[in-house]
Chain A
Amino acid sequence: MDQGATAFAILAAILVLVPLLAIFAYLVIKGIGSVNLAFLTQTPKPPGEAGGGMANAIVGTGLILAIASVFGVPLGIGSGIYLAEYGRNRFGDFIRFTADVLNGVPSIVIGIAVYSLIVVRQKHFSAFSGGVALGIMMIPTIARATEEMLLMVPNVVREAAYGLGIPKWRTTLSISLRTASAGVITGCMLAFARVAGETAPLLFTAFGNQFWNLKLNQPTAALSLQVFTYAISPYDEWHKQAWAGALILIVMIVGAVAAVRLTTRGSLKGA
């Protein structure tokens, strides 16, 4: 009986790996042929012309995700702190409910909302508005993860800090959040990985761009948009490039998560 349960658990774990590996393998098979120096360094060529790349989209995705993180991570962690440390009341329950609703809002709706709030007022599409849209999507995940992780910090640890005459805000930031940091970082990474591949919210915000752009207030290319555009185009060459773009996007996300994991792991153990 016990062995049967163990075998089932192992089987389930392997079955979970299968689609993941299959997707990745398929992406590599379809996309690796088009990944070359030109793809990584050049802007797209007009339709029908061979060659060109997605360099502007790679940089654009990085730019938009940076804006999203700068915007979403502090707000997410901040509201998570509020919920865990101060939110044992009606207002806290309201915030928690709102966050859960926000988590369930279709991403395109968030794109439209940001479009009407920012793009319409500024009168043009921009990297900034794209970052804001993705940042909004990051907040609920990060907030709830931060809350859960802070609630897991034993209360005796907080009491120890209060007992030393450390003010509550200081205790929260330097003791509780630090103790919970591994979980909070995982939450941030989950949120980051989730929004990195989003296309819909960027349609009305970052909009996409066939040329280089590093200005925050100008339409900007993003890998997901580029893949979308190329994938629905009638050109074979673009289809190949779409596969390559998807591969690069996955590699970027995995790379970013791994990099954060590696840099934070050392500091947690040795502190």
Chain B
Amino acid sequence: MGVGIEVHGLNAWYGKNLALNSIDMSVPANHVTAVIGPSGCGKSTFVRCLNRMHETIPEAYAEGSVKVGEMDVYGSGSDPVEVRRRIGMVFQKPNPFPTMSIYGNVAAGLKLNGFRNRKQMDELVERSLRLAALWDEVKDNLHKKSGASLSGGQQQRLCIARALAVEPEVLLMDEPASALDPISTSKIEELIFQLKQHYTVVIVTHNMQQAARVAELTGFFLMGSLIEYDKTEKIFTTPADKRTEDYVTGRFG
């Protein structure tokens, strides 16, 4: 089951540059929430702050309050590694581990976190690949084929399976379909829709139609600020803010 996310007064910097300015946002559990905005608006930075990936970039840091379920992400005793284990992430470009088999990729998060039960691992790998709608396509080549030998769309679903295998509560997706063809994209979108039964999904996208298709809630970012956050249909039919309207109608930039 997914958990909700509560963000209060979140600021993020790259060195001296403020990338996110006092973001407040409440993401409900088991919903798909889209984050849209023009390039450089901070939307990717925002989701990367949710699982403390932001600070892996040199000189980047964030402050403020992010609560994911009961977990205080930026609390004093919080361990970024543990945070990232509980909040899965899927990236823009499919990034399977190049030297590992399909099975190895999905099991990597478990193995490298010290999970040893082989039978249970087999089950988790199968479950994750099924959830990612990839099982039927790869079940005969789990150990024979490398993750990098799959097609782009399959690689991305493999990456989703890999993220799901460690059983996160929240799944963050940073433009997960931007490098894929339309058929693979619609598969990923269908998958996102299914996933919300089990997870809370936050998806960054520069494709507004995609946000409109998959998300129940949509937040519009501009120059590091959250301009408007509402039901998706509201954002795309009758946004309250002029800047949102300019962006969704394409009159912006």
Contact = CB atoms under 8 A, between A and B. Distances in A.
Direct contact of A and B (CB under 8 A): yes
Interface of A: 88, 154, 156-157, 159-167, 170-171, 174-175, 178-179, 181, 268-271
- Size range of the chain B interface in the assembly: 20 to 34
Given A163-B163, A164-B112, A166-B112, A156 B93 contact: yes
A161 B112 contact: yes
CB-based closest 9 A-B pairs = A165-B85, A164-B109, A163-B89, A156-B95, A165-B84, A160-B95, A166-B112, A167-B81, A170-B112
Contacts of A175: 97, 108, 112
Interface string B160-200: 00110010000000000000000000000000000000000
A166 B80 CA distance: 10
Contact of A178 (B51, B85, B99): B99
Contacts of B146: 269, 271
A166 B104 contact: no
B56 A162 contact: yes
Contacts of B56: 159, 162
Interface of B: 51, 53, 56, 58, 81-86, 88-89, 91, 93, 95-101, 104, 108-109, 112-113, 146, 159, 162-163, 166
Determine chain B's interface SS by DSSP, over half rule: mixed
B104 A164 contact: no
* Most B C-beta atoms less than 10 A away, residue of A159, A170, A181, A269: A159
* Most A C-beta atoms less than 10 A away, residue of B99, B159, B163: B99
A156 B104 CA distance: 17
Contact of A163 (B88, B96, B112): B88
18 contacts: A156-B91, A156-B95, A159-B95, A160-B95, A162-B56, A163-B88, A163-B89, A163-B163, A164-B84, A164-B85, A164-B163, A165-B86, A166-B108, A170-B112, A178-B97, A179-B97, A181-B99, A271-B104
